[in-house]
Amino acid sequence: MCSNIVSIGDIEGFGRGVDGWFDLKQAVITFDHALRLPVDHAITIDFVNRDKGLSARVPVELTAESARELIRVIEMALAEGQEQHLTLEPSQEH
């Protein structure tokens, strides 16, 4: 049975597709049957800009373990950047 678990978040960034770089608007995360991986269930991350059609999509399919590792290394990189007083957000100062 399909689990059909879907979470959607608004994001800002850029992805590269077959037609070059495009702006990203959403990340669509699913937990469902794997399409390519030789596992029963997988995490699929689709970075998309629905306004630009189906070609504005960057899909990634990960095992659960790889998804957790991705979260871990992203958190590490953000923490290290914050420790070094680097900002990843636009400046709030005027």
d(CA 70, CA 65): 9
Residue 91 resides in a domain: no
Residue 55 resides in a domain: yes
Q: What's the domain range around 42?
A: 5-63
| Res 41: pLDDT | 95
pLDDT exceeds cutoff 70 at 86? no
Residue 72 resides in a domain: no
Contacts of 76 (CB under 8 A, 6+ apart): none
Counting the structural domains of the chain, the total is 1
7 pairs with which residues across the strands? 29
Torsion of CA 77, 55, 39, 75, to 10 degrees: 10
Residue 74 resides in a domain: no
| Res 84: pLDDT | 85
pTM for the model stands at 0.80
Residue 66 burial class via C-beta count within 10 angstroms: exposed 0-12, middle 13-18, buried 19 and up: middle
* DSSP per-residue string spanning 20-39: EEEEEEEEEEEEEE-SSSSS
